[in-house]
Amino acid sequence: MDPIADMLNQIKNAQAVGHPAVSLPCSNVKYEVARILEQEGFISKIEKKGRKAKKILQLTLKYNDKEPAIGSIKKISKPGQRIYRSHSELRSPRGGYGVGIVSTNKGMMTVKDARKQKLGGELICEVW
């Protein structure tokens, strides 16, 4: 299975039942996606725990009046069908109320930042 899709499903499932945090295996790509989610206010805190091969990413989830901060997460690009967009084709999900995450040659960033820098890339997911 796709590790990013697995991460997003774990976050969605944990928030559905009201867990305060999620622990998952760490990778650089997962950390970058989590960092963007933290910047945009969808999760509270990110921690890397453990050593070398046993590193774990601990995400503290955010709730607003007992409602999850993340309404929904949708994986766009999949291993069997990669979705690439140029900077002019990138659009913010939900009419600007959501955040799109795109992987560019300058690293992971939001759709808004990629459009400012005129960078295209692989559209990873949308969060709202």
- Residue percentage of the chain with pLDDT more than 90: 91
Q: Give start-end residues of each CATH 3.30.1370.30 domain in the chain.
A: 3-68
pLDDT value for 45: 97
Q: Is the pLDDT assigned to residue 96 strictly greater than 90?
A: no
CA distances from 115 to 20, 68, 121 (A): 34, 28, 11
Q: Is the pLDDT assigned to residue 1 strictly greater than 90?
A: no
Global pTM value:
0.92
Fold for the domain defined by 3-68: Ribosomal Protein S8; Chain: A, domain 1 (3.30.1370)
Q: Residue written as tokens 């690439």?
A: 84
Contact predicate 54/91, CB 8 Å: no
* pLDDT tens for each residue of 17-34: 999 999 999 999 999 999
The CA distance from 106 to 58, in Å, is 25
CATH number of 73-127: 3.30.1490.10
Q: Give start-end residues of each CATH 3.30.1490.10 domain in the chain.
A: 73-127
Mean pLDDT of 45-67: 93
Contact predicate 4/42, CB 8 Å: no
The CA distance from 22 to 13, in Å, is 10
pLDDT value for 70: 94
Q: Where are the beta strands (DSSP E) in 1-128?
A: 21-25, 43-49, 56-61, 63-64, 67-68, 73-75, 84-85, 99-104, 107-110, 121-127
pLDDT value for 27: 94
C-alpha angle 69/77/36, rounded to 5°? Answer: 40
Structure tokens at 26: 């760490």
Mean pLDDT of 82-100: 93
Mean pLDDT of 23-48: 96
Mean pLDDT of 6-26: 96
Residue 56: CA count within 13 A, CB half-sphere: 9
Q: Which residues pair with 3 in a beta bridge?
A: none
Q: Is the pLDDT assigned to residue 8 strictly greater than 80?
A: yes
Q: Is the pLDDT assigned to residue 49 strictly greater than 90?
A: yes
Q: What are phi and psi of 101, to 5 degrees?
A: -110, 130
